[in-house]
Amino acid sequence: MASKKSEKQFMLSENEFNQMAYDNTALMNPQYIDDIDYKSEIQPMNSQQTKSNQFINNADSDRYSCWSRFTHCIRIAYGPFNSNTYLLTSSMNTMFLQAQVTNGTDSLSTASSLDVLWSVIQGPIMNNWYSNTWYNTQPFATANNLTLLYQNRLIGVPRLRQLRMSSNSCIIPVYFADDIKECYGQYQEANEDKKPFGLKNGTAWTYTSSDQLGMYSYWGSVSSYGGGGYYEDLSRDQTEAASQLDRLFQNLWLDRGTRVLFIHFTTYNPNMNLFSVVEIVVEVPASGSLVLNSDFRSVKLLRYVTPFDYFVLACECTFLLFIAYYIVEEIMEIKKQGWIYFVSVWNSLDIIIILISIVCAAFNIYRTIIVINLLESILHNPNEFANFQMLSIWQVNFNFAISITVFLAWVKLFKYISFNKTMTQLSSTLGSCAKDLAGFAIMFFIVFFSFAQLGYLAFGTQAKDFSSFITVV
């Protein structure tokens, strides 16, 4: 059997034998060489070589353009950031949440009742807002400007805003109907109280809608709160501001119907060119306790001040040219390939990067115009509240969008690293096991969420870490 198998391996077909004979004859007799059509043999090889060179040139060009976009994206993303931004956020947090009342230990972070809350607002918070002297009691050179931590200027005036529920917003059981006449339910934006109360005059005692205030909704620990409410803008004069707070205190501005208190104010640090938009939220749930939340957004709203800022501006303009070029290129590719174009993951990734970049560019232009107009208005009316809430929230979202763009740009680099053998093996391995990983992920999250639900239902009333389903997860 072995000999027959070896014989078959060395057997040649008639055509193969004739071809070998022809080649040997050509080698032994040069006149036969002229009969061979070498052009027909070389031409396909040249065509194939040309296509290969074209592919390599296109790959190099695409790789270079991707690297250029990537470096510009990195410059734009990191340009506005300051390594000391967190220090500003941390110092503002400590200044207002940890500051204690005189001869006591109460602070916003430890307040558990409305009376303690009032003592903190009228004490350390007021002192932080209206500190116009140095530590040796010498007044600042610019006494009209309210300065926090000696470095941060208060923009406009502080604002106190509350949301309420009416006294008949929940149902009283018939067994207690004779003894209990008022019931203040859990906050619901659709059923919030909008009627005048207390003194029934001024913005502190009459409801103002979110459209008029220009405030956004807030998602707290207990509930989600609307942007309207009853508000009081404090004066820039400390004596008058103290009188305003005392009037609210004496007339029970905060009572059983209060469900949340917002403390809004904005500061500007010229040393770092950073705005700190502060939103301290004290929730008053139906249980009667206090739940403290806070949002200190340190953002750079004035983007173009220093020479480096203008360098970043130049990078942004160049990046926009890149985006405009690739928009045209991607549209031509979509017209040429149709829906098949979106089958490629890399093509879909390009579309996502382009869309996010367009949104970021549009917001960048919008933010610059709005900040200039808003600052001009505030400088002409320093005794009004400076509403930077919307701009700061959108700036934070802008930072998220930029971070996503940078992440996707890093992912895009895998397309060109795949020329390396190791990276090719890695990408092919991940592609081969993608379905198995997806199936395992589904099974894992089913078990994970079932245990989370078990923990919430079993320990939600006893442990803080299990108090809500989101916290458990």
Under the banding of pLDDT at 50, 70 and 90, the label for residue 301 is: confident
Reported as a pLDDT band with limits 50, 70 and 90, residue 25 is: very low
Residue 74 confidence (pLDDT): 59
Give pLDDT, residue 162. Answer: 96
Lowest mean pLDDT among 289-298, 387-396, 452-461: 452-461
Average pLDDT over residues 110-126: 91
The answer to whether residues 203 and 230 touch, using CB atoms and an 8 Å cutoff, is yes
pLDDT at position 392: 87
Helices then strands, counting H and E runs in the chain, come out as 15, 8
Place of tokens 């932080």: 128
**In 3-state terms, what secondary structure has residue 229?**
strand
- Please return the burial class of 72, using the count of CB atoms within 10 Å of its CB with bins 0-12, 13-18 and 19+: buried
Higher-confidence residue of 408 and 123: namely: 123
Looking at residue 119, what is its pLDDT? 93
pLDDT reported for residue 73: 61
Q: Rounded to the nearest 5°, which phi and psi values hold at 86?
A: -65, -35
Angle subtended by helix axes 389-412 and 345-380, to nearest 10: 160
Query: Residue 399: exposed, middle, or buried by beta-carbon count in 10 A (0-12, 13-18, 19+)?
Result: middle
Burial 192-215 (b: 16+ CB within 10 A, else e): bbeeebeeeeebbbbbbeeeebeb
According to the per-residue pLDDT averaged within each range, which of 98-107, 142-151, 216-225, 348-357 is highest?
Answer: 216-225
Q: What are phi and psi of 294, to 5 degrees?
A: -150, 155
Query: Tell me, what's the pLDDT at 370?
Result: 84
Of 273, 329, 319, 317, nearest to 299 (Cα)?
Answer: 273
CB under 8 Å to 259, separation ≥6 — which residues? 162, 163, 164, 165, 184, 186, 187, 192, 223, 225, 283, 284, 285
Closest CA relative to residue 363, chosen from 397, 387, 320, 404? 397
Give the pLDDT band of residue 78 (cuts 50, 70, 90).
Answer: low
Going from the C-alpha of 22 to that of each of 25, 35, 37, 43, 389, the distances in angstroms are 5, 11, 14, 22, 87
pLDDT at 340 over 60: yes
Most confident of 138-142, 346-350, 446-450: 446-450
pLDDT number for residue 250: 95
- Kindly report the average pLDDT of the chain as a whole number: 80
The pLDDT-based confidence of 9 (bands split at 50, 70, 90) is: very low
Confidence band of 276 (pLDDT split at 50, 70, 90): very high
Helix axis angle, 421-432 to 434-459, nearest 10°: 60
Structure tokens at 212: 């008029």
Q: Is the pLDDT of residue 235 over 70?
A: yes
- Report whether 471 contacts 465 (CB < 8 A): yes
- Beta partners for 264? 159, 279
Residues 6 or more apart whose CB falls under 8 angstroms from that of 454 comprise none
Segment 427-455 shows an average pLDDT of 85
Per the CB < 8 A criterion, the answer to whether 282 and 117 are in contact is yes
**Whole-number Cα distances in Å, 1 to 5, 12, 225, 340:** 6, 19, 88, 53
Band (pLDDT 50/70/90 cuts) for residue 226 is very high
Work out the average pLDDT over 285-290: 87
pLDDT number for residue 410: 79
